[in-house]
Amino acid sequence: MAKIGKRLKAARAGVNREKFYPVDEAVKLVKSRAKAKFDETLEIAMNLGVDPKHADQMVRGVCTLPNGTGRTQRVAVFARGAKAEEAKAAGADVVGAEDLVEQVSQGNINFDRCIATPDMMGLVGRLGKVLGPRGLMPNPRVGTVTMDVTSAVKGAKGGAVEFRVEKAGIVQAGVGKASFADQALVENIKTFVDAVIKAKPPGAKGNYLNKISLSSSQGVGVKIDAGTVAGGGSTAG
C-alpha cells in the first residue's frame, strides 16, 4: 500500500469519509484543507444512475454559475463579417473563419471555450478530431452554436460551465476557488446540481442522482448530503 504523505494525512484528519455532510459543512471542510501554494479549485463530482453508452441516457448541458468560476476563460469564436465584429466587441479573445480553422488544424489552440455561428459549422466540422477530444467542439445543445454571439461570449467569460457525463456515469466540474466566500460556493454548487438534475435524460430509470462529492485540487473528497443541495425527492427517477 502506498504511504500517505503528511499533507494528505493532515487533510484527512477530522473528515469522516463515510459521512454525508450538509453542503455548507462540506464546503467549510474542503476549504479549510486546501493548503496548496495556489488558489485551489473546488471540484464537484456527481455519480449518476445512467449508462452514457445509450443515446437516451446521455447527460449534457451548460450551467452559468452565479458567482463565476474564478478562472479566466479564453474564448474563441468562428464567425464572419458583422458577427465576427460582434464577437470582438463582446470580449472574445480569438475570432476568425478560414484562418482560425487553419490555425486550429495545425494544433494551435489558444482558448478554453469555443463558439461558432451556424453558418460556420461546415468548416468547423472538419476540426472534430482536434476539438472533440478536448471537449471544445461547438454544440447547439449547450449554446455554443448560435447567432447570439454576444450572450454566448459573455456567458463563457462570466462563469458558464459545460458538463458531460463520462463513461462511468460521472459528471465533474469546477465550482469556484478556495478563496471564494462559503456562501458563494454553496450557491454555485446548488446551481450546478440543479442544472444536472434538469438535464436528466428520458432513458434514466430508478435513482438518477446516486452520490455527490466535493474536493479541492489537492485535497480530500467529502461526500455531500444530496438533500441539502437538490431538495426532497430529487434523486429518484
Q: Give the per-residue pLDDT at 73.
A: 87
Q: Do residues 121 and 184 lie in contact, with contact meaning Cβ atoms separated by under 8 Å? A: no
Q: What is the model's pLDDT at position 234?
A: 40
Query: Concatenated DSSP letters for 162-207?
Result: EEE--TTSEEEEEEEETTS-HHHHHHHHHHHHHHHHHT--TT--S-
Residues 24, 188: contact at Cβ < 8 Å?
A: no
In angstroms, rounded to a whole number, what is the distance separating the alpha carbons of residues 149 and 155? 10
Q: Mean pLDDT of successive 10-residue segments in the chain (237 residues)?
A: 55 74 96 91 96 92 90 93 97 96 94 95 95 91 93 88 91 95 97 95 91 93 92 42
Domain architecture of the chain: domains with CATH: 6-69+160-230 (3.30.190.20), 75-157 (3.40.50.790)
Task: Write out the DSSP string of 33-94.
Answer: T--SSS-PEEEEEEEES--TTSGGG--EEEEE-TT--SSPPPEEEE--HHHHHHHHHHT-SE
CA-closest candidate to residue 235, choices 107, 49, 36: 49
pLDDT value of position 7? 54
Model confidence pLDDT, tens digit, residues 184-221: 999 999 999 999 999 999 998 889 999 999 999 988 89
pLDDT of residue 233: 38
What local confidence, expressed as pLDDT, does residue 235 receive?
A: 41
Report the predicted TM-score, pTM, of the whole model to 2 decimal places. Answer: 0.78
Give the pLDDT confidence score for residue 160 in this predicted structure: 86
